[in-house]
Amino acid sequence: MMKPLFRLLGAITLMFSLSIVFAQTSTDVNVSGNIAPDKIKKGRIARAVITVDIPSGLHIQSSRPLDKFLVATKLDVETPSGMTSGPISYPRALMRKLKFSKGNVAVYEGRAMIRFNVTVPATYSGDGGEIKGKLRFQACNDESCFPPVTREVKMRLYVE
């Protein structure tokens, strides 16, 4: 009679331990950047993309959350002196009803791609530089949200 009870308690303990080990947080969200072309002539425009890979079971708040207590996803771009970045284009948010929210929440799930252009003027005097993207976001699961984090992405743009 005691053996089945110990087996059941052992199985429950194992499942609880695994759920703690495999619990997802903001650190599981992967952020990367790409600029194309990575080598351009003066007077041209390169297109940059920041890709946010959000694992299943997590989401991040959109750039325009519907609740004032949620933190918007925001990208800040730094370019070398003389280059300029254009307007930032965020993806369309998905509307979700979550356990912790009274109404819908505007979120990104799966893969979110944030886009912007980098302009190199005809009068640019350098040979290129580093484009930095600083992405601030708040990741959540269906029950709660994690503290906001900022991730930095660096991309190199060469100028001919």
Of residues 31, 66, 69, 24, the one with CA closest to residue 150:
31
Residue 30 belongs to domain spanning: 25-159
Mean of pLDDT values over 108-129: 96
Strands 149-159 and 39-40: parallel
Is 139 part of a structural domain of the chain? yes
Is 123 part of a structural domain of the chain? yes
pLDDT at 4 over 60: no
pLDDT at 14: 39
pLDDT at 77: 98
Is 16 part of a structural domain of the chain? no
Is 140 part of a structural domain of the chain? yes
pLDDT at 11: 43
Q: Is residue 9 within a helix (H) or strand (E), and if so which, with residue range? A: helix 2-21
CATH of the domain at 102: 2.60.40.1250
pLDDT at 51 over 50: yes
- Neighbouring C-alpha atoms within 13 Å toward the C-beta of 138: 19
Mean of pLDDT values over 111-119: 98
Q: Is the dihedral of CA 50, 47, 95, 73 positive or negative?
A: positive
Is 111 part of a structural domain of the chain? yes
Q: If pLDDT is split at 50, 70 and 90, which confidence band does 12 have?
A: very low
Per the structure, how many domains does the chain have?
1
Is 9 part of a structural domain of the chain? no
Is 20 part of a structural domain of the chain? no
Is 151 part of a structural domain of the chain? yes
pLDDT at 8 over 80: no
